[in-house]
Amino acid sequence: MKLKILVVEDDVAISKVLAYNLEKEGYDPLLVKDGETAVDAFRKAKPRLVLLDLMIPKVDGLEVCRLIRSSDRTVPILMLTAKSGEVDKIVGLEMGADDYVTKPFSVREVMTRIKTLLRRTAPDETPAVAELTAGKLTLQTEKYTLHLGKDLVTLTGKEFDLLKTLWIAQGKVLSREIIMERVWGIDRAADIDTRTVDQHVARLRSKIGPEKKRLVTVKNVGYRFISE
Protein backbone atom coordinates (compact mmCIF):
# COMPACT_ATOMS: atom_id res chain seq x y z
CA MET A 1 0.00 0.00 0.00
CA LYS A 2 1.29 3.47 -0.89
CA LEU A 3 2.07 5.81 1.98
CA LYS A 4 -0.38 8.70 2.08
CA ILE A 5 1.13 12.17 2.38
CA LEU A 6 -1.02 15.21 3.15
CA VAL A 7 0.12 18.25 1.16
CA VAL A 8 -1.20 21.55 2.50
CA GLU A 9 -0.35 24.22 -0.08
CA ASP A 10 -2.51 27.00 -1.56
CA ASP A 11 -0.21 27.69 -4.52
CA VAL A 12 -1.67 25.44 -7.22
CA ALA A 13 1.54 25.34 -9.29
CA ILE A 14 3.67 24.27 -6.31
CA SER A 15 1.03 21.79 -5.20
CA LYS A 16 0.98 20.13 -8.63
CA VAL A 17 4.78 19.88 -8.76
CA LEU A 18 4.88 18.30 -5.31
CA ALA A 19 2.06 15.88 -6.17
CA TYR A 20 3.77 14.81 -9.40
CA ASN A 21 7.07 14.11 -7.68
CA LEU A 22 5.46 12.36 -4.73
CA GLU A 23 3.58 10.04 -7.07
CA LYS A 24 6.79 9.41 -9.01
CA GLU A 25 8.44 8.37 -5.73
CA GLY A 26 5.61 5.95 -5.02
CA TYR A 27 3.61 7.99 -2.49
CA ASP A 28 -0.10 8.79 -2.46
CA PRO A 29 -0.48 12.59 -2.15
CA LEU A 30 -3.64 14.16 -0.75
CA LEU A 31 -3.84 17.85 -1.70
CA VAL A 32 -5.65 20.57 0.27
CA LYS A 33 -5.47 24.36 -0.06
CA ASP A 34 -6.31 25.79 3.36
CA GLY A 35 -5.73 25.13 7.05
CA GLU A 36 -9.33 24.39 7.96
CA THR A 37 -9.61 21.67 5.32
CA ALA A 38 -6.16 20.38 6.28
CA VAL A 39 -7.12 19.62 9.88
CA ASP A 40 -10.27 17.81 8.77
CA ALA A 41 -8.37 15.88 6.08
CA PHE A 42 -5.70 14.87 8.57
CA ARG A 43 -8.26 13.43 10.98
CA LYS A 44 -10.05 11.48 8.27
CA ALA A 45 -7.14 10.28 6.11
CA LYS A 46 -4.55 9.66 8.85
CA PRO A 47 -1.57 10.35 6.55
CA ARG A 48 1.92 9.01 7.20
CA LEU A 49 3.47 12.48 6.81
CA VAL A 50 2.28 16.09 6.50
CA LEU A 51 3.87 18.56 4.09
CA LEU A 52 2.63 21.88 5.45
CA ASP A 53 2.94 25.38 4.02
CA LEU A 54 3.27 28.08 6.67
CA MET A 55 1.24 30.78 4.88
CA ILE A 56 -2.16 29.28 4.02
CA PRO A 57 -5.73 30.68 4.16
CA LYS A 58 -8.32 30.37 6.96
CA VAL A 59 -6.04 28.71 9.53
CA ASP A 60 -2.29 29.35 9.21
CA GLY A 61 0.32 26.62 9.13
CA LEU A 62 1.54 27.12 12.69
CA GLU A 63 -1.97 26.67 14.07
CA VAL A 64 -2.54 23.62 11.85
CA CYS A 65 0.72 22.19 13.18
CA ARG A 66 -0.40 22.81 16.76
CA LEU A 67 -3.80 21.19 16.15
CA ILE A 68 -2.25 18.13 14.54
CA ARG A 69 0.22 17.78 17.40
CA SER A 70 -2.60 18.00 19.95
CA SER A 71 -3.99 14.73 18.58
CA ASP A 72 -0.90 13.01 17.15
CA ARG A 73 2.60 13.46 18.54
CA THR A 74 4.36 11.11 16.17
CA VAL A 75 3.34 11.90 12.56
CA PRO A 76 6.22 13.72 10.83
CA ILE A 77 5.50 17.33 9.82
CA LEU A 78 7.70 18.99 7.20
CA MET A 79 6.99 22.71 7.04
CA LEU A 80 7.35 24.81 3.89
CA THR A 81 8.00 28.47 4.56
CA ALA A 82 8.72 31.56 2.49
CA LYS A 83 10.05 33.18 5.63
CA SER A 84 13.76 32.65 6.13
CA GLY A 85 14.10 34.39 9.49
CA GLU A 86 15.54 32.37 12.35
CA VAL A 87 12.60 33.22 14.62
CA ASP A 88 10.11 31.78 12.14
CA LYS A 89 12.06 28.54 11.92
CA ILE A 90 12.28 28.19 15.69
CA VAL A 91 8.57 28.95 16.15
CA GLY A 92 7.71 26.23 13.64
CA LEU A 93 9.84 23.72 15.52
CA GLU A 94 8.41 24.86 18.85
CA MET A 95 4.90 24.20 17.55
CA GLY A 96 5.86 20.62 16.74
CA ALA A 97 7.22 20.61 13.18
CA ASP A 98 9.97 18.05 12.63
CA ASP A 99 11.82 19.93 9.90
CA TYR A 100 11.40 22.83 7.50
CA VAL A 101 12.32 23.83 3.96
CA THR A 102 12.54 27.47 2.92
CA LYS A 103 11.00 28.61 -0.38
CA PRO A 104 12.11 28.65 -3.12
CA PHE A 105 13.12 25.07 -2.56
CA SER A 106 14.60 22.22 -4.55
CA VAL A 107 12.05 19.46 -5.13
CA ARG A 108 14.87 16.94 -4.76
CA GLU A 109 15.66 18.36 -1.33
CA VAL A 110 12.01 18.10 -0.27
CA MET A 111 11.87 14.45 -1.40
CA THR A 112 15.09 13.73 0.49
CA ARG A 113 13.74 15.31 3.67
CA ILE A 114 10.52 13.32 3.35
CA LYS A 115 12.42 10.04 2.97
CA THR A 116 14.60 10.91 5.98
CA LEU A 117 11.61 11.70 8.20
CA LEU A 118 9.74 8.56 7.11
CA ARG A 119 12.80 6.40 7.72
CA ARG A 120 13.40 7.96 11.13
CA THR A 121 9.79 7.37 12.20
CA ALA A 122 9.23 4.02 10.50
CA PRO A 123 6.94 1.74 12.54
CA ASP A 124 9.34 -1.19 12.16
CA GLU A 125 12.13 0.59 14.02
CA THR A 126 13.77 -1.23 16.89
CA PRO A 127 11.25 -0.94 19.71
CA ALA A 128 12.20 1.27 22.64
CA VAL A 129 12.18 0.20 26.27
CA ALA A 130 8.56 0.42 27.38
CA GLU A 131 9.25 2.03 30.76
CA LEU A 132 12.14 3.98 32.26
CA THR A 133 12.43 4.92 35.91
CA ALA A 134 14.74 7.25 37.83
CA GLY A 135 13.96 8.43 41.33
CA LYS A 136 10.35 9.63 41.33
CA LEU A 137 10.24 9.80 37.53
CA THR A 138 8.59 7.15 35.36
CA LEU A 139 8.69 7.55 31.59
CA GLN A 140 6.41 5.28 29.56
CA THR A 141 7.74 5.44 26.02
CA GLU A 142 4.82 3.73 24.28
CA LYS A 143 2.16 5.80 26.03
CA TYR A 144 4.12 9.06 25.76
CA THR A 145 3.59 9.78 29.44
CA LEU A 146 5.78 10.97 32.30
CA HIS A 147 4.87 10.62 35.97
CA LEU A 148 6.45 12.38 38.92
CA GLY A 149 5.48 10.07 41.72
CA LYS A 150 1.74 9.58 41.20
CA ASP A 151 1.29 12.85 39.32
CA LEU A 152 1.11 12.98 35.53
CA VAL A 153 3.47 15.58 34.07
CA THR A 154 2.13 17.31 30.96
CA LEU A 155 4.82 17.48 28.25
CA THR A 156 4.80 18.63 24.66
CA GLY A 157 5.91 16.09 22.05
CA LYS A 158 9.36 17.66 21.73
CA GLU A 159 9.83 17.90 25.50
CA PHE A 160 9.03 14.20 25.77
CA ASP A 161 11.37 13.27 22.91
CA LEU A 162 14.15 15.41 24.40
CA LEU A 163 13.84 13.80 27.81
CA LYS A 164 13.73 10.31 26.32
CA THR A 165 16.75 11.02 24.10
CA LEU A 166 18.85 12.18 27.06
CA TRP A 167 17.56 9.37 29.27
CA ILE A 168 18.38 6.49 26.92
CA ALA A 169 21.86 7.93 26.33
CA GLN A 170 22.64 6.40 29.76
CA GLY A 171 24.56 9.30 31.20
CA LYS A 172 26.47 10.17 28.04
CA VAL A 173 26.82 13.88 27.31
CA LEU A 174 24.95 14.94 24.15
CA SER A 175 25.82 18.17 22.40
CA ARG A 176 23.08 20.60 21.40
CA GLU A 177 23.76 19.75 17.75
CA ILE A 178 23.30 16.03 18.36
CA ILE A 179 20.11 16.72 20.31
CA MET A 180 18.78 18.85 17.44
CA GLU A 181 19.48 16.01 15.03
CA ARG A 182 17.93 13.26 17.17
CA VAL A 183 14.91 15.15 18.47
CA TRP A 184 14.12 17.51 15.59
CA GLY A 185 15.71 15.50 12.77
CA ILE A 186 17.87 18.46 11.80
CA ASP A 187 21.48 17.83 10.82
CA ARG A 188 22.33 21.43 10.09
CA ALA A 189 22.01 22.98 13.53
CA ALA A 190 24.13 25.94 12.43
CA ASP A 191 21.03 27.21 10.61
CA ILE A 192 18.99 27.07 13.81
CA ASP A 193 19.71 28.85 17.08
CA THR A 194 20.41 25.88 19.34
CA ARG A 195 19.12 27.92 22.26
CA THR A 196 15.82 26.23 21.46
CA VAL A 197 17.37 23.14 23.14
CA ASP A 198 18.21 25.22 26.21
CA GLN A 199 14.66 26.54 26.32
CA HIS A 200 13.21 23.02 26.19
CA VAL A 201 15.58 21.83 28.93
CA ALA A 202 14.59 24.79 31.11
CA ARG A 203 10.91 23.94 30.72
CA LEU A 204 11.58 20.28 31.49
CA ARG A 205 13.40 21.25 34.67
CA SER A 206 10.52 23.43 35.79
CA LYS A 207 8.06 20.58 35.21
CA ILE A 208 9.97 17.82 37.03
CA GLY A 209 10.73 19.98 40.08
CA PRO A 210 12.63 17.93 42.67
CA GLU A 211 14.12 15.70 39.98
CA LYS A 212 15.49 18.58 37.87
CA LYS A 213 18.98 17.86 39.20
CA ARG A 214 19.02 14.83 36.88
CA LEU A 215 19.21 17.13 33.84
CA VAL A 216 22.82 18.21 34.03
CA THR A 217 24.37 21.03 31.99
CA VAL A 218 27.91 20.30 30.84
CA LYS A 219 29.42 23.73 30.16
CA ASN A 220 30.35 24.42 26.53
CA VAL A 221 29.28 20.90 25.55
CA GLY A 222 25.63 20.04 26.10
CA TYR A 223 23.46 17.99 28.45
CA ARG A 224 23.28 14.64 30.15
CA PHE A 225 20.65 12.79 32.18
CA ILE A 226 21.58 11.03 35.43
CA SER A 227 19.31 8.09 36.15
CA GLU A 228 21.12 6.66 39.19
Pairing of strands 137-140, 145-148: antiparallel
What does the pLDDT read at residue 185? 67
CB atoms within 10 A of CB 152: 9
Q: Which domain holds residue 78?
A: 4-120
Same domain, 97 and 135: no
CATH code for the domain of 158: 1.10.10.10
- pLDDT at position 193 is 59
Are 115 and 8 contained in the same domain?
yes
Long-range CB contacts (< 8 A, 24+ apart) of 140-145? 144/73
Domain boundary among 120, 146, 166: 120
Q: What is the pLDDT of residues 73-100, one digit of tens each?
A: 889 999 998 765 555 666 677 788 888 8
Q: Is the peptide bond before 104 cis (omega within 30 degrees of 0)?
A: yes
Question: pLDDT tens, 157-206?
Answer: 889 999 999 998 888 999 888 888 788 765 544 455 568 889 999 999 99
Domain count, the chain: 2
The per-residue pLDDT for 192 is 54
Predicted confidence at residue 141, as pLDDT, reads 86
Residues 68 and 138 in one domain: no
The verdict on 37 and 135 lying in the same domain is no
- Which of 122, 105, 125, 88 shows the shortest CA–CA distance to 51? 105
pTM over 0.85: no
